[in-house]
Every structure is written in C-alpha cells, then in structure tokens.
Amino acid sequence: MSKQHTLIMPLDMHLHLRDGVMLETVAPLTSYTFSGAVIMPNLVPPVTSKEAVIAYKERILSACGYEMQENDFMDEDGLGGGDFEPLMTLFYQNYDEGFIEEIQDEIFAIKLYPAGITTNSEGGVKSFDIETMRPTLEAMERLHIPLLVHGETDGFVMDREAEFMSIYELLAGNFPDLKIVMEHITTKAAVDMLDKYANLYATITIHHLLITLDDVAGGMMKPHLFCKPIAKRPEDREALLKIALNAHPKVMFGSDSAPHPQDKKEACGCAAGVFTAPIALQLLCELFDDHGKLNNLQSFVSDNAQSIYGICPEFKEVTLVKEAFKVPEKYGNVVPMYSGETIAWSIEDVL
C-alpha cells in the first residue's frame, strides 16, 4: 500500500483570493482542504472599511458554497461556523483608535504594504515614521490585533527584504506587545531576525522552499514562478528549509498563493504571484517526506499557527497518499505552479 499521511485542520496563513470570477474559481480549491486561511486585503480598491470586510467575507463564503452566519467569527470554540473560515484582514493605513475599536470583531489582523511595492499596494505606507504610525500601532497592541507585514524596501530587488530588517527592528522594538508577522520570508536575514524579538513571527510559502532565482530566471524566463518577494539564493532557501522542516515554533505555513489570469502572467509586464493553492499540501508532503521530516508537517501547517494566534479551527482531516498527481494545466484561466507536471503526492480523502 502507498505511504499515507494525515493532516489535521491545515491552515493557510497568507492567501490571495481576489474577487468576482477569479474568487469563484480559486476559493473552493482552498476551502476543500484547509480549515482556515488568512485572506489578503489587496483588492482594487483595498479593503479599508468595516462594510468592505464584511461584504468580502460574505462573497468568499458564498464562493466556497457556505452561507455567512451571524457572529460566526471567533465563536467560543475558535474560528466559527462552516468547515472553512476566512480570517479577514484590513489593509493598513494610519487609522484612528475609534475606528479600530469598531472594526476589531470583524478582523483577524491588519496587513501592511509599503506603498507601491507589489500588486495593488499603492495605498500602502509611504513613510515608516514611527510617530505617525504610533496611534494605530498602539491601538492594535492594546486590542491584540496582529500586524502582518510585506517586508520589502524599494531597493535593489535581491536586497529588498534584507534592507527591510531595520524597519522590523523599529516596529518590534517600539511595540513589544504587538504581534508582528514577517510575511513570506525569503532570506537568511529574516530567519536570523526571527529569534531576536519575542514578538516577531513569520510565514513561509511552499514555492520559496522549493525554488531559487535560478528557477525563475536562470534559464528560460518562467513567468509562473515570478513573485514578490522574488526567490533568492540557495543559502537563503537552505535557511528557510531549516526552520520550516524543523517546525520552528515561530513559523507558519502561508502559501501566498496569488492567482492572476494567464494573459497577465504571460505578458511583457508579468504580474507577480505564484498560484499554488490546489497543490500546496501535496507539495508540502513531498518536501517534508523527502527530508524525513513528515512528523513536523502538522506543526508547520497548523499547530504553530494555532498557538501563535490562539485559534482553534473547525475540524477537518486531510489524508494524503504518495501516489502521482498530474497537476492540471489550468484552473479556469489561472496556470498553477508545476502546470502539467507530475508531483509525488495526492489528496486521498478529506473528512
């Protein structure tokens, strides 16, 4: 019999679902195998109001085939109704305390983008002036709302994340009770930063554990592997692998699955984002199995996030099997990572 592995309540702690037809295509692919996902707010326009958060959550649940339930967010047993919980985020701006108090029950976290650094981030932070940001960040600290950060400067593309480390230090040092998550880390510099501050955490994608810049641009240009932050050097990937495979307690899986229509990827201006949602768990199983670390996957893909955020997801049990799976060429008009290729693990069953 083929080797099997069961994961309990997988969580994707960083996910782009978009809206409209794209949302309808991609949301069910995540809600099928994940108990919950942290939903990014970089829509056009970005999600900056209570009404927008509630309406977007409703559209997500409807795309997954669920109805919105009254007060279903963070009910007494954790994440709420249904067997997939969208954990909603608000797009960071310098909000006043009253607004944050009013919206706190509707959101899981606030996502900060430096202005213009990636897809739909033009309305993000232009200057990291701590005194300007202080009222918002202190309110978040007091209300226990985590800050999720896209940590890149506008410097040379390979150095952007490492250059951002001083801003993480500024944030983590000035707001010691604020939970700060370095999203989709790609460098050894970020791995080294993780243990310097008690209030710093990180998410890691599956693609940054698998590829380096060589895979993106070392041979023929691979638009479907182009994302931000861009994949880095082998030594960076090694540093990421070490903490992910050993399920360092401050790291969580966050796919950063970021679908774009095929014509926006296969274009002269290629949109940034790798679409991995439907194959993320299969690839994680393959990677952890190849390194003899399958026993640590449960922590990386669920338990660490539960402890870090104090959440208790709805029950879901996903059994994977080491049997070849041919990745579809496309899901709707989105081309996934490893499109048309065969990967080693498949989803066997979801309970």
List residues near ligand DOR by CB under 6 A: 16, 42, 118-119, 150, 227-228, 258, 272-273
**Residue 199, binding choice from ligand DOR, Zn ion, none, Cβ under 5 to 8 Å by partner class:** none
Give the CA angle between residues 255, 257, 259 to the nearest 5°.
180
Helix or strand run (H / E) with residue 289:
helix 280-290
What are the DSSP E strand ranges found in 58-146? 85-91, 109-112
Interacting partner of 272 out of ligand DOR, Zn ion, none (Cβ under 5 to 8 A depending on kind): ligand DOR
Site for Zn ion in 85-124 (CB under 5 A): none
Which of 231, 321 has the CB closer to ligand DOR? 231
Q: In whole angstroms, give the CA distance from residue 236 to residue 292.
A: 21
Determine the distance from the C-alpha atom of residue 168 to the mean position of all C-alpha atoms in its chain, rounded to a whole number: 18
- One character per residue 314-333, x = contact with Zn ion (rule: CB under 5 A): --------------------
Nearest one of 216, 208, 327 to 265, comparing CA atoms: 216
Quick note: the x/- pattern for Zn ion over 222-261, rule CB under 5 A, is: ----------------------------------x-----
From first CA to last CA, the distance across the chain in angstroms is 21
Cis geometry, peptide bond prior to residue 336 (ω within 30 degrees of 0):
no
Helices (H), the chain: 20-31, 50-63, 97-103, 130-143, 160-163, 165-174, 188-194, 207-210, 213-217, 234-245, 262-265, 280-290, 297-298, 304-309
Q: What are phi and psi for residue 325, nearest 5 degrees?
A: -130, 125
Report what 227 binds from ligand DOR, Zn ion, none; CB cut-off 5-8 Å by kind: ligand DOR
Nearer to ligand DOR, 186 or 302 (CB): 186
- CB nearer to ligand DOR: pick between 321 and 337: 337
Compute the least distance from the CB of residue 205 to Zn ion, in Å. 9
The β-bridge relationship of strands 317-321 and 4-8 is antiparallel
Minimum CB distance to Zn ion, residue 99 (Å): 24
Residue 37, Cα to own-chain centre: how many angstroms? 8
Nearer to ligand DOR, 13 or 311 (CB): 13
* Minimum distance, C-beta of residue 183 to Zn ion, in the bound complex (Å): 6
Count residues near Zn ion (CB under 5 A).
1
Residue nearest to ligand DOR (CB): 227
CB of 18 to ligand DOR, least distance (A): 8
In terms of Cα–Cα distance, which of 278, 291, 158 is closest to 214?
158
Structure tokens, 77: 């047993």
Beta carbon nearer to ligand DOR, 273 or 313: 273
Task: Supply the minimum distance, in Å, between the C-beta of residue 232 and ligand DOR.
Answer: 14
DSSP 7-37: EES-EEEEE---SHHHHHHHHHHHHTT-SEE
Smaller CB distance to ligand DOR: residue 16 or 248?
16
The footprint of Zn ion on residues 251-310 (CB under 5 A) is 256
Residue 40 CB, shortest distance to ligand DOR, in Å, is 6
Active site residues per annotation: 256
Residues that bind Zn ion (CB under 5 A): 256
